Amino acid sequence: MRHGLVIVSALLLPLALAAQNDTVRTMREAQTPERTQVTERSLYLEDTPELQKTPDSLARVEITTIQFFTDTFTQIAYIPDSTAMQRIDTIRPDSTDRRGHYVEAYAGIGFGSLGYGLRDPYCSTNGSFSAILQAQYAYFFTQNWGIGAGLWLTNYTSFANIGGTYIWRDQTDTDLEQHYDHTATVRRWKERETVHALGIPISAQFQYKKDSWKVRLFAAAGIAPSFAISKRYRVLQGEVTHSGYYPGWDLNLEDMHEFGTKDYTKEPCAKGKMSVRSQVALFADCGALFPMTKQIELFVGGYFNCVLNDANSSEKKALGWKDDTFTFMEEYKGAYATNMASSSHPWELGVKVGIHWHYVAPDKHETVDYFDYFTRHDTLIQYIPRSDTTIVERIDTLTRAHIAKAAEEVEKFNKIYFDFDSYQLSAESQDYLASIVEVLNKVPDAKVSIDGHASEEGRKDYNERLAYNRAKAVAQFLIDNGLDEERVIVLGHGSLIPNEENVNHELPLDRRVEVKVVQKQSEIE
């Protein structure tokens, strides 16, 4: 049966390997007998003629052994395989990549001026606080360089201080029919001039950061075409005193008729519009960017801008009065429109804070086709029940009847079985051997031959050592339990002598030790 299963396995295994390109391992094992039924029948031949020739008595022993086995046929196949599958991968953008789109917003406060002066020792101009609001879009082509464009709203403010005495000689007083010199004195005159400009800044931008830095340097420079959306002046305080000197009378007249002091802050022309042309400003920003989130950075720095062209488009006139009516304000358009005003180049300088928002693309979800490679472990187990019947007939010659009786008792336990590659006694085997010791102690002159055997698996020299170790283990147990050492003969036969009861050539039945009662040295040999 064993050879039949091996032949079937040998035929099936190449077919499975060729069809599936698998790694297949086939294993066949026989388990320890589930149940063993032993029947012995001893027949003594005391009345035979042989008994008359020899004092020995002859005994014929018939042993019928029925063993029930379960053969296990196991086939293990290691099969490489793959399955087409899909997964959804999340692709996260690199937040450290500074290229891409930006939205920038700023607010700043500083000091500025319309950037002009008055050519008169008694007149002057002063600057004032200014503010700027700016929003723009930027795109960085590399990690460091980009361009930006947007809008800003800013103001330029100056305060003009006017003073001085103006004389018109040899004027005619039609009422008095006299010639006189008309004198006008301007005192405590102060006016505010403010231009609100809407600009379109176009800039080149630069940002830089080392790996060890927590902040990023930022700078921008460019030009900004600007348009004045509000351009007004207002006299905050000012008065003019008129007097007339009459040489014919050597008399200076004041506080009468058309002479005297007048407050011009409430006159219609104390406020009005200025004449300002479109401008082109040069500007620069410089500061640091502090990270707040992966998309938002806080800008803190400074700014400066200056108009390149002359912003004053006024028709400049001399400070004075209309015709001979000496009406001061009718011709006055502000100090910005007098011939004392120099060219105007508005400027401002200040600090600025803002926010840079960097557009970072959202996570992408991409469906990916792939093959999942794996090794499948398939195991096929078949259980084949069977039973073996062994009938052994043996004629033993014993010296005395009680020795024959001892041999008969020992024959019940004459085979001790072992596990594969082992010489350890099982609990069941120890019980058997203890019974043998009990029988042999009743026959002190009988000797015991202990023959160790191994199955045909493995090398010859190894099997010989294993068989001897099995026999030695049985002998040692008998000696330890009271059997005289001189009555024990230990032999190891390796795998040379098969089990006569193993008609089906089952390997577990060859892994054994046989215990026999002997009388003569010739029987041992």
**Residue showing tokens 């006017």:** 162
| Separation between Cα atoms, residue 496 and residue 493, nearest integer Å | 6
Which of 362, 382, 410 finishes a domain?
362
**Residue showing tokens 């479109």:** 278
- Same structural domain for residues 481 and 337? no
The DSSP-derived string for 225-277 is EEEEEEEEEEEEEEEEEEEEEETTTTEEE-SSTT-EEEE-TTSGGGEEE--B-
Contact 471, 489 (CB under 8 A): no
The number of domains in the chain is: 2
Determine the structural domain holding residue 154 and report its residue range. 100-362
- Same structural domain for residues 267 and 131? yes
Token pair in block for residue 353: 């804070």
| Separation between Cα atoms, residue 317 and residue 332, nearest integer Å | 8
The answer, as to whether pTM is greater than 0.75, is no
- Same structural domain for residues 462 and 497? yes
- Same structural domain for residues 31 and 122? no
386 located within any domain = no
- Same structural domain for residues 279 and 349? yes
Residue 160 is predicted with a pLDDT of: 93
Per-residue pLDDT of the chain (525 residues; tens, 9 = 90+): 444 444 444 444 454 444 444 444 445 444 445 556 555 555 555 445 544 444 455 556 566 677 776 777 777 777 887 888 888 887 777 778 889 999 999 999 999 999 999 988 888 999 999 999 999 999 999 999 999 999 999 999 999 998 888 887 888 877 777 888 888 888 888 999 999 999 999 999 999 998 888 899 999 999 999 999 999 999 999 888 888 888 888 888 887 666 788 888 887 778 899 999 999 999 999 999 999 988 899 999 999 999 999 999 988 887 766 555 555 555 778 889 888 899 999 999 999 999 999 998 888 888 888 777 777 777 777 777 777 777 766 655 544 444 555 555 555 557 888 888 888 888 888 888 887 887 777 777 778 889 999 888 888 889 888 889 989 999 899 899 888 888 888 988 888 888 877 777 788 888 888 888 875 433 434
20 located within any domain = no
Q: Which amino acid is at 66?
A: I
Which of 344, 362, 380 finishes a domain?
362
- Same structural domain for residues 209 and 267? yes
- Same structural domain for residues 54 and 106? no
14 located within any domain = no
- Same structural domain for residues 57 and 132? no
Residue 1 is predicted with a pLDDT of: 44
Domain CATH number, residue 338: 2.40.160.20
- Same structural domain for residues 123 and 264? yes
341 located within any domain = yes
- Same structural domain for residues 219 and 298? yes
CB neighbours of residue 512 within 10 Å: 22
Which of 346, 362, 378 finishes a domain?
362
Contact 304, 349 (CB under 8 A): yes
387 located within any domain = no
- Same structural domain for residues 177 and 257? yes
Strands 488-492 and 447-452, bridge-based pairing: parallel
214 located within any domain = yes
385 located within any domain = no
Residue 276 is predicted with a pLDDT of: 94
- Same structural domain for residues 309 and 407? no
Residue 239 is predicted with a pLDDT of: 86
75 located within any domain = yes
